[in-house]
Amino acid sequence: MITRLRHHDAAYLAAILFLVLLSPPVKRALEESMTIQMLVQIPLLITVGLLMMRALPASVVAATSDWNYRGISGLVLATVTSTFWMLPLSLDAAVTSPLAAVAKYLSVPLLIGLPLALSWPLMSFVIRGVFLTECIATFFRLGWLYLASPERLCNLYMLDDQQRLGHYMLWIGAALFLGIVWKLIWGRFDSHDGRPDIASQ
């Protein structure tokens, strides 16, 4: 879906989405609950970054790939940055401190979404597999933590909100896992470097 967008369409879409997310009423609404901040606001900010990649000229994309063998640099950057935004203290700070809010609105699109979008086409079957497995594990780990913690991890959010988020994260982890199992058994794998599909029978 995203791949078929033309350059300027993607740029417009990214800009509009970003401005909507930035508008104070939307920002406030999305930060009202921990669940919505983590499962709606942050993913939408990542989407802004994914769209930005479509807006980049091909020459820029090619230049980054010299430093991004099989997408590994981009993956490392996105992982390090997302670790930061998974800390409960960052979720609080992003709402209470303007500096942290600016850091979030810039770093999530530019240091998570954009590098992931640049890396994904370069990633081999194995690296994609490691990345997705780590995603699933992270959803389970965080989900379990939020569900099991008897204490509020964010001073801004209620315990029942935190536990609901935990539940949803476990469900998302499970859905991702089933999706990958489905893909491995019945899916097609179009390898980027022209080799034939590595689909199992």
Partner 1 sequence: MKPLLRTLFVSITLILIGGVALSAVTDRFHAFTSEAVRRIAVRQHPVDVPVVALDTQSGARINISDLRGKWLLVDFIYTRCQTYCAALGNEFAQLQGKLAGPLAQGKVQLISISFDPAHDAPRELTSYLQRSRSRGAGWLAVRPVDPAGLAQLKRSFGITVIPDGLGGYTHNAAIHVVDPQGKLVEIVDLEQSDLAMRTILEGIER
Residues at the contact surface with partner 1, assessed by CB under 8 A = 65-70, 72-73, 76-77, 80-81, 83-84, 87-90, 92-93, 96, 152-159
CB-wise, 66 or 193, nearer to partner 1?
Answer: 66
CB-wise, 61 or 93, nearer to partner 1?
Answer: 93
Least distance in angstroms from the C-beta of 32 to partner 1: 10
Least distance in angstroms from the C-beta of 145 to partner 1: 10
CB-wise, 22 or 62, nearer to partner 1?
Answer: 62
Separation of alpha carbons 140 and 167, rounded Å: 10
Least distance in angstroms from the C-beta of 135 to partner 1: 18
Separation of alpha carbons 109 and 179, rounded Å: 25
Identity of residue 40: V
Answer yes or no: are the C-beta atoms of 14 and 74 closer than 8 Å.
Answer: no
Separation of alpha carbons 7 and 9, rounded Å: 6
Give every CB contact of residue 38 below 8 A, 6+ residues apart in sequence: 91, 165
CB atoms within 10 A of CB 30: 16
CB-wise, 81 or 138, nearer to partner 1?
Answer: 81
Least distance in angstroms from the C-beta of 173 to partner 1: 20
